Every structure is written in structure tokens, then in C-alpha cells.
Structure 1
Amino acid sequence: MTIQEIAEIAKVSKATVSLALNNKAGVSEETRNMILEIANKYGYNKKTSSNQKRNILFIKYIGSGAAIEQNGDFIATVIDAIEKTASNLGYNLIIKNIISSEFQMEIANIHFEDYTGVIFLGTEAHSEVVELLQDIPVPIVAVDNLFEKNDIDSVVMDNFGGIYKAVRYLISLGHKKIGYIDSTIKFSNFAHRVDAYYKSIKDFGLEKDQPVVCVTPNLEGAYIDMLKHLKQWKGEMPTAFLAANDTIAIGAVKALREVGLSIPDQISVMGFDDIPFCTMLDKTLTTIRVYKEKMGEIAVKLLHDKINSSEKEFVKILVRTNLIERESTAKKI
């Protein structure tokens, strides 16, 4: 007798059966008793904890792929930290990539009873996606997306604090016309960053009509789109640009140079994330460092605490960022 077979007899979902068998909340007493009666009648033997594998399922949600496949080593570094921390705590990490178009079907087919907990990489996910995960019968922690609308534990970088630091730094260099290079694809982190940019501009008393342009969030796309914006530019050029991430910043630098602008003598450029490519440019990129390893480590430790606790409270953890000053920014002359 399997959980699937019990679910078919009881005419409920596998998740409901697992909640009932594990004495978890979210199931009515009547349904729980019915499921337990079926399990006893047909001889279902729940695995004892000593025989259960301590497996963590890592779900990598892939939307467009732009943020997780085309942003240097960002995601790989987070995953490496998750795997290392999980191993140190005695867990096996099982990684499953799921594309957005197949997500609902794939989630329905996962045997969550085979796992102790789940870490969900939500970089490219939206709140409706998370709703499909909220009934799974094991603890879950999301990483790289705040999911502020959802009751789910999450660990993410401090997007607002990072952008605020960046704008304050550029102002300290004498820049008062600071453009922003946003992404055409509106991931959660990008949305928080552009909101922080507008709030920072207002808080620091800069003019409201600062230029904001949108580009495709990969190296080639950012270069092509930025070049098009520059060739059509009307009005005064900013003395500094802040980009939504380093990949966008690097593509923009190439475009700015192509139209004859010197970095940082004529225009300063700043990114966000601190990927390795930042130090490979002839003018190394000033950026906001995201502590990717710390995000992964905290996510696993938070999941470990949830696994070993009966508390139901949800936690949102922001990991602070740091300003890394390099050669792509300079004082306004």
C-alpha cells in the first residue's frame, strides 16, 4: 500500500494523505481519521525515522532563464553553499530543475514523503507559483525571492539597502544626474531594486526626471538595447548609470564605449551582485556585493530548524549587502 493508493481510495490528494499520516496541520479531523482507517485496513507501514533518508529536495524554477542561467556564477554559488551546508548537517541534496510550463504537473508528481524538506530557488518565480507549494507536507524555504505576498519562509539579499548604498555613493562622488538601467523582464529582485532606486532619488532630493532605460538582461541583449537607447538619446546624458545587475552593467559599458564615452572619465557605471566578470574588465566594475554563500547557508539552516520544530511562524530573512568600489566610477569633474 502506497500513499498514492491511499489517496485514490480516499479521493484526496497525496499531499493530504501525507499530512494526515505525519500528523500535520491542514487536514480536518474527519479526513484524517478516514485516511488513518484506510492505512490501517490495507496495511500501510510508515517508514520509521531511522530508515528514512535525510534528503532535501532543491527545486530550481526556470522561467526565461535570464536571471539564473545568464548572470555569471550567481546561482551556482548559491547552490554550492546550499549543498555544502546540507552535507555538514547530514542531509543529501537532490536537485530538480523544472521549467515554468511544466511546473504544476511536475509538482503534482513529486513524492514529497521521500524528502525531509524542500528548498525552492524562486529567482524567476512569482507569487502564484508559490501557492502551488504551500500544501506540500514537508517544510519548505524559498531562496532569492522575498515572496512578500506569501506565507513562506524565505531568504533573499537586501535589494533596497543595496540600491540605497549605491545611490548614496554616487551622490558622494558629485553625481546628481544618475540614470538607471533596468531589465525588460520583471523578476522580483529587479522590481525591488528599481523601486529602491526611485525611493532613493526622492529621499536624497534629486530631480525626479532621472532617466530610466530597460534592456534585455544578458550581456548581448544589454549591449544591443543600450546601444539603441544611446543612439536615440535626447537631452542631457547622465554622469552616472546604476544597473539592475552586473551583467546588464557590463553590456551597457560596451555600448557606452562604442558611442565614444570614456568610463569613468565621462560617465560612471555601477552594477549589482559582484559576479567574477566584474574584475575581468579593463576598468573593473564598481558594484554591490551580494553574499551568495551566506544566503545559501542561511536557507539550509532555516530549513533544518523548521524540520526540527513544530512552530508555524514564517520568517523572511534579508542578507545585507556591501559596496565594492572599483575603477568604473569616479568623482564628477
Structure 2
Amino acid sequence: MTKQEKKPVTLRQVAECAGVSAATASLVLNGKGDISEATRQRVLSAVRQMKYKPRNGRTRPDSVNTLRFLKIARHGHTVNRDHNHFISDYIDGMSYEATRRDYSLQVESFEGTDVDKIAESLRSGDLRGAVILGTELTKEEVQCLARAPLPVVFIDTYHPLLDLSFVDMDNDQAVFALLRHLAGRGFRRIGMVASHTAVTNFALRHDAFLRGMAALGLEADETLILSVDSTLEGAYSDGLAQLAAAPRVAEAYFCANDMIAFGFIKALREHGLRIPEDVSVVGFDNLPMSAMSEPALSTIEVPKRRIGAMAVRLLDDMLIATAPEPATKVLISGALVGRESVGTPSGD
């Protein structure tokens, strides 16, 4: 019987022993960064003490083991300060997994920057791979960035026909969970507040709404499907105008995200309707303010940290592979969060 081999020491363990971050330890080992001599010696001492050896095929003497997260806002209607907490959770998941796998993680933000310039940024510096926030990217922009000469994974978007790697929430599963929740409460006349903002996940949720309604044997009445801007004020003003022109109001509305739900609830109230006594409303994202709104909003908790961590895992698989890896597409299920914005049908 052979003795079980010990797991190799990781850079994160070395960093913990030295009392520094994994990124600092990585800089020390690669002879880079403005690191004090005392800190450098602590790291090197920990390396000797723990007999740390970089994983084969990973660390080059002249290069830091760096991954980069590109936070890209094209129009800013969704990638904005209202969603900073959402994006921070992505970064937390990436940072944890990167550290666990001996990488350092950079974060770079682009607002309204030409996509060709963003692509150029991936051709410079000592980068091993990149995770790209695809929320506001068109299909063509995704393809442009994918031509970078290093492994890339896109998150918060999904294009099934592209031979590229994506990690996204499972919109079909999540939307169906919301619709089943509403149907279980007795709602039959269910509408949707979609968005014409150029965001792939909004289009995917619209399609998921139609499929989910059909799966539940419910009619998706086109007169109950609205389309609004995805900002708080835009959802309010567009929603108010469309409610005034609509022949009737749904018993319950699924909104494409929480921010749209907040604006639409304001429009419903101005239209003389109470939530949830007259109309129930559900959102998507579980932003922190969802629990504090009045009434508290029923919504979908998106597994943001898991999405970020999975993107780093996919990059790691590409980097250590001895042959080109096939593109991988991962959809991660969300969880229903039931709150006070859903009541029962008013029976009008």
C-alpha cells in the first residue's frame, strides 16, 4: 500500500504564512512590484519553510501569473453605480478562485471606450487570461474581443451559437421559478416588463418568459408585455406612459431586473394601483435594496460569486491544458427569494 501523496503547497498558503496577500507573494517571486525588503524576505522565508514549488507549466521567471477582469460599460444603462454591488460580487468570486489557484487578479474598467481599444489592451502586458463582463456587449463586440491572443471567458452574457466560453445565470430556470411561484399563488394573467436596452440577458429573459408561460399552460398576452428603459427613471417614465395606453393591467408582472421593478412599481402607484393588493411584482437580481424597498421585492438571487469563480476555473483549465480546450458554456441556476411584493389575485 503506497503512502498517500501530500497536496502541493499553494501560493495562497505561502502568502498566509508570510502575512501578505497572494498578489504580493506573486510579485515577490517574480521580482516585480514596489515591495519592501522586509516583506520580500518574509515571503522568501515562507517559500523555503514550506518548500513551495510553482505548479508546472504555470509561472515563468519573467512574468507575474496575472488574470484580468474587464468591466465594460458600453451605454451605461445597466453597468452603472446602481449595479456596483452586483459586479463586486462577481469580482469577489473571481478573486477568491484566482488566489486559490495561484493567480493575481487585476480589474480594469472601460466606459464608452471603443471596443478595438479595449481589445488592444489585452495584447499588452504580462497577462495569462481575461474574464470579460459581457453585459452590454453586442454579439459582434464579443467576437472582436475574443480575437485577443490569450484565453478569455465572458460572464453575464450568453451566445449559444458562438464557439466561445461563457458563464451566465440560467435565465430559463430562474424565470420559470418566478412564473411557477406566481401561478402557485393563483395568478393567470401574468405580464412582463421587458427592456429594449441592448442587453443580451434581457432578450434571453423575454424568450424565457414566453417558454415558461407555455410550459405552465398560461397565455402570454402580448398586450401585457411592456418594454421600458432599464434605468430607474426610464422604467418609471416608460412604464407610466405604457400603462396609460394599455387596454388592461396584468394581475402580476415579471420585471427583467430589480431596477426596472423599482421604477415600474412607482409607475403603478402613480397609476392608482397598490402593490401587492392590486398588482403583484417580481424582479430579477436581488439587489441589496430589494429587501429594503416598500414592499420588499420578490426576486431571483443570482449566484454571482459562483459565476465569477467558475470563469476563473475555466481560464485555469485552458492555461494548464496540453492541447487546445473546446469552448465551454456554463449556466448556473438562481434561487427564488419570496417577499411581500407578491400577494394573491385581486379578483377584478
Q: So what's the TM-score if we normalise by structure 1?
A: 0.81
Q: Percent identity?
A: 33
CA contact (8 A) 1:130 1:150 kept: no
Structure-to-structure mapping, 1:280-299, within 5 angstroms: 280-299=292-311
The verdict on how the C-alpha distance between 1:314 and 1:61 changes in structure 2, with shifts beyond 3 A counting, is same
CA contact (8 A) 1:56 1:118 kept: yes
What is the aligned partner in structure 2 of residue 307 from structure 1?
Answer: 319
Q: What is the root-mean-square deviation in Å for CA atoms of aligned residues?
A: 1.9
The verdict on how the C-alpha distance between 1:121 and 1:109 changes in structure 2, with shifts beyond 3 A counting, is closer
Question: What amino acid is aligned across from residue 205 of structure 1 in structure 2?
Answer: G
What is the aligned partner in structure 2 of residue 206 from structure 1?
Answer: 218
* Structure 2 gaps, min length 5: 1-58
Out of 225, 233, 236, which is 1:220 matched to?
233
CA distance in 2 between counterparts of 1:186 and 1:137 reads 27
Say yes or no: does 1:323 pair with 2:331. Answer: no
CA distance in 2 between counterparts of 1:100 and 1:312 reads 32
The DSSP-based 3-state class of the residue aligned with 2:145 is coil
What is the aligned partner in structure 1 of residue 8 from structure 2?
Answer: none
The DSSP-based 3-state class of the residue aligned with 1:190 is helix
What is the aligned partner in structure 2 of residue 190 from structure 1?
Answer: 202
Deviation at 1:202, TM superposition (A): 2.0
CA distance in 2 between counterparts of 1:326 and 1:217 reads 22
Deviation at 1:100, TM superposition (A): 5.0
Structure-to-structure mapping, 1:45-84, within 5 angstroms: 49-69=60-80, 70-71=82-83, 73-84=85-96
Deviation at 1:66, TM superposition (A): 1.3
CA distance in 1 between counterparts of 2:152 and 2:341 reads 40
Out of 121, 126, 135, which is 1:123 matched to?
135
Say yes or no: does 1:137 pair with 2:127. Answer: no
* Structure 1 gaps, min length 5: 1-47
The verdict on how the C-alpha distance between 1:109 and 1:218 changes in structure 2, with shifts beyond 3 A counting, is closer
CA contact (8 A) 2:69 2:130 kept: yes
CA contact (8 A) 2:154 2:167 kept: yes
Q: So what's the TM-score if we normalise by structure 2?
A: 0.78
CA distance in 2 between counterparts of 1:288 and 1:180 reads 15
Deviation at 1:51, TM superposition (A): 2.5
Q: Deviations over 1:269-320 (max 9, x none)?
A: 0001111010111210001111111111111112112111134211100010
Q: Deviations over 1:87-138 (max 9, x none)?
A: 2322222222234551113323543461111111111112211222333222
CA distance in 2 between counterparts of 1:112 and 1:152 reads 22
Q: Deviations over 1:44-96 (max 9, x none)?
A: xxxx8133100112122221111211436212221232123222322222222
Deviation at 1:172, TM superposition (A): 0.9
Q: Paired residues, what number?
A: 286
Deviating 4+ runs (over 6 angstroms):
none
CA distance in 2 between counterparts of 1:286 and 1:229 reads 23
The DSSP-based 3-state class of the residue aligned with 1:71 is helix
The DSSP-based 3-state class of the residue aligned with 1:294 is helix
CA contact (8 A) 2:158 2:168 kept: yes
The DSSP-based 3-state class of the residue aligned with 2:192 is strand
